[in-house]
Amino acid sequence: MFKNNCLKFILLSLSFICLNVSAQKDIDTKVQKLLKKMTLEEKIGQMVQLNGFWDFTGPAPKDGDGAKWKYDALKSGKVGSVLNVRGVKNVRQLQEMVVNESRLGIPLIFGFDVIHGHKTVFPIPLAESASWDLDAMENAARIAAIEASAEGLNWTFAPMVDISRDARWGRVMEGAGEDPYLASEVAKARVKGFQGKDLSDDNTLAACAKHFVGYGFAESGKDYNAVDVGTSTLYNVLLPPFQACIDANVRTFMNAFNTLNGIPATGDDFLQRDILKGKWNFDGFVVSDWGSISEMQAHGFAKDLKDAGIIAANAGCDMDMESYAYVGHLKEAVEEGTVAEALIDDAAARILKVKFELGLFDDPYKYCDTKKEKELLYHPDHKKAALDMAKKSIVLLKNEGNLLPLDKKQKNIAIIGALADEDNSPLGNWRLGTDNNTAVSFLEGFKKYTDNYSYEKGVDIFLKAEDFLHEVEVNNTDKSGIDAAVALAKKSEVVIMVLGEHGYQSGEGRSRANLDLPGLQKKMLKEVYKVNKNIILVLMNGRPLTIDWEAENIPAILETWQLGTESGNAIAETLFGDNIPGGKLTMTFPRTEGQVPIYYNYLNTGRPGPIDLVFWSHYTDETNAPLYPFGYGLSYTDFAYDNMKVVNNGNNIQVSVNVKNTGNYDGSEVVQLYIRDKVASVSRPVKELKGFEKIFLKKGENKTVNFTLTEKELGFYNNRGDFVVEPGDFDVMVGTSSLEGLSDSFEWK
């Protein structure tokens, strides 16, 4: 019976692979046939992406929006894609124009930043990653794709899989944190979610792994800044999440604004040709970032726009987003021989291939169904999923004296902080697809549980927090509001302070040099603390913050990020114990900006110390330890680890551990496995995550969790970029965070 089933499975898988291969061949044949009909100008046209006529997501587009020449370009087949056009009516209008009026009627592909939800907004990606729940993250991306495709879109510029160790960088909110292993798993889940089971279905989006590569390592955390990394970091830290996207069959890549070791990523043929399209055999296409081809002039890498276009095309950048270098200059470059026509053919073929895969040639309007658009946007099931994801993303940082969860009959609660009344900020920064003010605010969620509270806004945090395009103005001067907050706190039994950053304070172009609570919030918190120490701090923020004083003094701290549409409901359920927090940080929280970049998987120095003299690697005015480490997060219940076993099978290592819920609530735990390769031909980190499992245990219940370590987990990339597995001794640790756990060791032969 078992054998029969096995055979059936193998035959089914084989026939699936054969079908896939033949479908791919079929598409390749169609692409080649179409290419033969195309003029050079039309092929270059496929490589051009223009910003649409409504929103924009970078410096103002050329000639503003709606310029006549854009329509002419579209009608004459000089454009292959547009971004920032959405809504069935708008998409259909442009698609019809191109399909009916251009010579070959090649449909456009419509790109948009569908980052964490579309109409229904999910938590910011950094928050989602704190759930460590891959299925939930895949589902979140699936739903984002369902809604975005119902609005006519078929390509998302996500997932962002940049690793970052520097919370000053505003875009840490868009990634999965600091760890390459976890980020790779998350990347795969998100790609699968966006692309669905079959890209030709009418509810899928082609995904885009971005920003290739190094963007998250911007020097001093300042967006767009130069990146300098050595080979080991490039191969072992930055590249793996991108490679994971390839494993998940991601159809597009976006290159990056930054220079990597002196070469703009957009013009780097080593990255795009040698690694991505060579070594990794990527057969989708690469789009530039917004204007990044043109920006190679400012980098001092191209002498003019034409030169920039030539460099980018030769380096393997297939599509030009908003630089106008390809539309303006590529034809001339081919004619004079500075770009080979074969490269144009290759780029156009890649783009056409993805269009075929999406089924756009079968039906260019397959994403244009107004009935579906009405039915699916903000669908109640999507809200349910967003609530589930939001609850899983919350991280409990501190809970002294079990202040949380709150008793549902608790009287006399003070709620303080402008963010508590915000229904816009929880949507985060990347939420162009949704409508403003559509989040459930903290207060709205809280009200559903109890009337026993009073609210004071306290100090204004923001003078202006307008939109995606402009700076947030923080209130650093006007202290009015503090007195009222203090007065309320004085007469209350428990105080909930809702503090943090506005959703528009993280994201692109939003680096911060200070990582503390913006404006006068800390001052207000300290004043309130003087009259009432029974404080629950609910943080809303898009990055790790330096909350050293808060961590020392405030008894309970709940990290709620920007949780999206269902924010207030998720937080209220958590405060009142209907949701037991189980999230774990995926980025280290520093104590002070001076510790940044700070991350758990660092290389040991030759002088790790501590020793009695000064000659060891440390600060004289701050400890080396982070405030909260990677993988950290508490629960209302407790988990005990015991009985760790390590069995060396020669070709793999089996590690098992028993985890018991010893507390008073049912709850989930993320069991994490870390290794240390003790001696290698390249220094290896003091710890590296190599496995995790999220388990749910009823109170009193226990479970054995098993991990298998193989060459894949034990090897690393050497400084030639080769993956090697070296024999030797390893430490292994299994536990509740990167800091705490049971450990053992083994020898790999």
Site for ligand NOJ in 413-472 (CB under 6 A): none
Strands 688-697 and 667-677: antiparallel
Distances (CA, A) of 398 to 8, 502, 627: 52, 22, 11
Strands 259-260 and 155-156: unpaired
Q: Tokens 């026993």 sit at which residue?
A: 452
**Which position among 508, 573, 688, 713 is part of the footprint of ligand NOJ (CB under 6 A)?**
508
Query: CA nearest 73: which of 101, 54, 96?
Result: 101
The answer to whether 678 and 728 are in contact (CB under 8 A) is: yes
Identity of the residue, 160 or 234, whose beta carbon is nearer to ligand NOJ in the bound complex:
160
Q: Would residue 289 show up in a list of annotated catalytic residues for this protein?
A: yes
Q: Closest approach of Cβ 449 to ligand NOJ, in Å?
A: 38
- Interaction mask 289-328, ligand NOJ, x per CB under 6 A: xx--------------------------------------
Q: By CB under 6 A, is residue 57 in contact with ligand NOJ?
A: yes
For residue 418, give the DSSP letter.
G
- Alpha carbon 258 to chain centroid, angstroms: 18
Q: At what angle do helices 567-575 and 380-393 cross, to 10 degrees?
A: 50
Q: Closest approach of Cβ 82 to ligand NOJ, in Å?
A: 12
Distance CA 107, CA 31 (A): 13
The answer to whether 563 and 571 are in contact (CB under 8 A) is: yes
Identity of the residue, 170 or 417, whose beta carbon is nearer to ligand NOJ in the bound complex:
170
For residue 171, give the DSSP letter.
G
User: What is the residue type of 350?
Assistant: R
Q: Which of 113, 289, 318, 677 is catalytic?
A: 289
Q: Closest approach of Cβ 676 to ligand NOJ, in Å?
A: 35
**Which position among 118, 210, 299, 431 is part of the footprint of ligand NOJ (CB under 6 A)?**
210
Which residues touch 21 (CB under 8 Å, ≥6 apart)? none
Q: Closest approach of Cβ 233 to ligand NOJ, in Å?
A: 21
Q: At what angle do helices 134-150 and 180-195 cross, to 10 degrees?
A: 40
Identity of the residue, 57 or 236, whose beta carbon is nearer to ligand NOJ in the bound complex:
57
Q: Closest approach of Cβ 91 to ligand NOJ, in Å?
A: 17
Distances (CA, A) of 277 to 7, 180, 365, 536: 35, 21, 31, 51
Distance CA 746, CA 72 (A): 67
Write out the two tokens for 292.
Answer: 């990044």
Q: Closest approach of Cβ 210 to ligand NOJ, in Å?
A: 5
Write out the two tokens for 526.
Answer: 């300290």
Identity of the residue, 111 or 177, whose beta carbon is nearer to ligand NOJ in the bound complex:
111
Q: Closest approach of Cβ 289 to ligand NOJ, in Å?
A: 5
Q: Closest approach of Cβ 174 to ligand NOJ, in Å?
A: 8
Identity of the residue, 423 or 508, whose beta carbon is nearer to ligand NOJ in the bound complex:
508
User: What is the residue type of 250?
Assistant: V
Distance CA 427, CA 386 (A): 12
Q: ∠ CA(110), CA(111), CA(113), 5° rounding?
A: 145
Q: Closest approach of Cβ 320 to ligand NOJ, in Å?
A: 13
Identity of the residue, 157 or 717, whose beta carbon is nearer to ligand NOJ in the bound complex:
157
Write out the two tokens for 575.
Answer: 């405060």
Identity of the residue, 56 or 630, whose beta carbon is nearer to ligand NOJ in the bound complex:
56
Neighbours of 26 (CB within 10 A): 11
Q: Report helix, strand or coil for 59.
A: coil
Identity of the residue, 203 or 258, whose beta carbon is nearer to ligand NOJ in the bound complex:
258
Site for ligand NOJ in 235-264 (CB under 6 A): none
Site for ligand NOJ in 356-415 (CB under 6 A): none
Distance CA 131, CA 136 (A): 8
Q: Tokens 């993320």 sit at which residue?
A: 670
For residue 405, give the DSSP letter.
S
Site for ligand NOJ in 59-98 (CB under 6 A): 83
Q: By CB under 6 A, is residue 58 in contact with ligand NOJ?
A: yes
Q: Closest approach of Cβ 115 to ligand NOJ, in Å?
A: 8
Q: Indicate the Cα dihedral angle 413, 419, 420, 425, nearest 10°.
A: -160
Q: Tokens 């597995």 sit at which residue?
A: 725
Q: Closest approach of Cβ 252 to ligand NOJ, in Å?
A: 11
Q: Tokens 């307008």 sit at which residue?
A: 466
Write out the two tokens for 608.
Answer: 């790790």
Write out the two tokens for 46.
Answer: 């496929």
Distance CA 81, CA 511 (A): 30
Identity of the residue, 113 or 559, whose beta carbon is nearer to ligand NOJ in the bound complex:
113
Q: Closest approach of Cβ 58 to ligand NOJ, in Å?
A: 5
Distances (CA, A) of 460 to 115, 242, 479: 29, 41, 8
Identity of the residue, 149 or 429, whose beta carbon is nearer to ligand NOJ in the bound complex:
429
Identity of the residue, 156 or 635, whose beta carbon is nearer to ligand NOJ in the bound complex:
156
Distance CA 553, CA 199 (A): 52
- Interaction mask 554-593, ligand NOJ, x per CB under 6 A: ----------------------------------------
Distance CA 616, CA 610 (A): 7
Identity of the residue, 34 or 287, whose beta carbon is nearer to ligand NOJ in the bound complex:
287
The answer to whether 652 and 712 are in contact (CB under 8 A) is: no
Strands 723-724 and 728-735: unpaired
**Which position among 155, 157, 217, 717 is part of the footprint of ligand NOJ (CB under 6 A)?**
157
The answer to whether 625 and 590 are in contact (CB under 8 A) is: no
Distance CA 89, CA 280 (A): 39
Q: Closest approach of Cβ 208 to ligand NOJ, in Å?
A: 7
Instruction: Detail the DSSP E strand segments found in 276-343.
Output: 285-287, 320-321
What is the size of the binding site for ligand NOJ (CB under 6 A)?
A: 9
Distance CA 713, CA 654 (A): 12
Q: By CB under 6 A, is residue 510 in contact with ligand NOJ?
A: no
Q: Report helix, strand or coil for 243.
A: helix
Identity of the residue, 113 or 422, whose beta carbon is nearer to ligand NOJ in the bound complex:
113
- Catalytically active residues are 289
The residues binding ligand NOJ (CB under 6 A) are 57-58, 83, 113, 157, 210, 289-290, 508
